[in-house]
Structure 1
Amino acid sequence: MGPVRKVLTVVAMVGAGIGLGSALFALVTPGELQKQAMLKEMPEKDPRRTDEVARTQELVMATLQEAAATQENVARRKNWTVGSGGRSA
């Protein structure tokens, strides 16, 4: 009877731990209205931030296109917004 009691005790302890963890997860998880409010406050929704990200992506793409078209190491430039006109100092 000893090993059966140990197995049942272990199963009960594991079950209690899983139950407690699930209950805590359900309490901490935000509701639908709270999720919508959090999404509205995300920094990615700010128009200025969106414009800044778009401009940064444009600069990166322009640099990559120029790097593909030239033999110059454009990663060594101090000012990436300047086009290739020789080596930049």
Structure 2
Amino acid sequence: MEVLRKGLAVGALLGVGAGVGAALFALVAPGEQKTQAILKELPEQDPRRRAEAARTKELLLATLQQAAATQENVAWRKNWMEDGGGSRRSA
């Protein structure tokens, strides 16, 4: 009987905790209009920012393709913007 009482008490306590958590979440969660306003102000919505991100991705992809096409270890380049010609560090 003691085990059953403890089990019910724990279950009730967990239920109350879940209820309080759900109530607090409902209080602090922004409404639909507020969510839309926040999304409009994100930096990713700016066309200049999106163009910059696309250019960065293009440069990264080009660098990865160049690295895949060569046998040189590009991680050892002193200046990554140059082609490898003797710019390796001495080990």
- TM above 0.5, yes or no, is yes
Match of 1:33? 33
Number of aligned positions between the proteins: 88
**TM-score when normalising by structure 2:** 0.73
Contact 2:67/2:74 (CA < 8 Å) preserved in 1? Answer: yes
Asked whether the 8 Å contact 1:44–1:50 carries over to 2, the reply is yes
Letter in 2 for 1:24: L
| RMSD of equivalent CA atoms | 2.4
1:2-13 correspondence to structure 2 within 5 Å: 8-13=8-13
Please tell me whether the aligned partners of residues 59 and 81 of structure 1 are also in contact (alpha carbons under 8 angstroms).
no
Q: CA separation in 2, counterparts of 1:23 and 1:58?
A: 46
How far the C-alpha of 1:8 sits from its partner, in A, is 4.9
Q: Which residue of 2 aligns with 1:57?
A: 57
Structure-1 residue corresponding to 2:68? 68
Percent identical residues: 64
Tell me if the contact between 1:63 and 1:74 (Cα under 8 Å) persists in the aligned partners. no
Contact residue 44 and residue 50 of structure 2 kept, 8 A: yes
